[in-house]
Amino acid sequence: MPELLTEDRGAVRILTMNRPEKRNALNNALTAALLEGLRAADADDAVNAIVLTGAGPGFCAGADLAEFKDLTAENQPLVERRAQLTMSLHEIFPRLTKPVVTAINGAAMGGGAGLALAADLALMAESAKLGYPEVKHGIVAAIVMPNLVRQVGRKAAFELLATGQPVGARRALELGMVNRVVPDAELMAAALALAGELAAVSRPAMATTKALFHQVTELPFGEALAAGREANKRMRAFRK
């Protein structure tokens, strides 16, 4: 069975993590498949939006602990390769030109929670949970930390990271971790409807909106306005 399933619904590409027996835990193979799947979708002219979800009852359990036994101080090259692969996955989302919607169908923990929040928009099933339990295992939610802090702010992020306690869908919505909470049975329909709305937008307008959005969030106000001015001038060239 492939680690990642791909399906097109019109201009929307659905990427489904396919390790249900492991709650879609991120081993090296699935992480690499996700990177390739996201890049391929972004390069495909027939695709205008992406939905990311998990097979089975869980969205993503985070890193596959079965591979942790090999990540030791004595095997530093392997440790470095794994860290780089994980970082590459999380940093690709703002670099994609097409919008990504996560359909969080079940538990999203650790790196899985980071993956759920990395998308541009996130929909969450009522029964799902998000959490960062790394401290309970004596490790650190390191690579997913920067995005979490940007999403929910310092106090809420530190509580999630330091206690390792998961939050339910309603609390995740209150914290701004997700955009909407929907009944479990309606999750994929809602995600596809939202992705369909995004896919119908002019591709240059969507790509520029996404690029500018991620640019201005990291800039001082004056520089952000200047970046907006330049985008404003460029968009005249692709208006219909």
21 catalytic residue (yes or no): no
- Choose, from 7, 36, 126, 134, the residue flagged as catalytic: 134
Residues 6+ apart with CB under 8 A from 152: 160, 175, 176, 177
- Catalytic residue list: 134
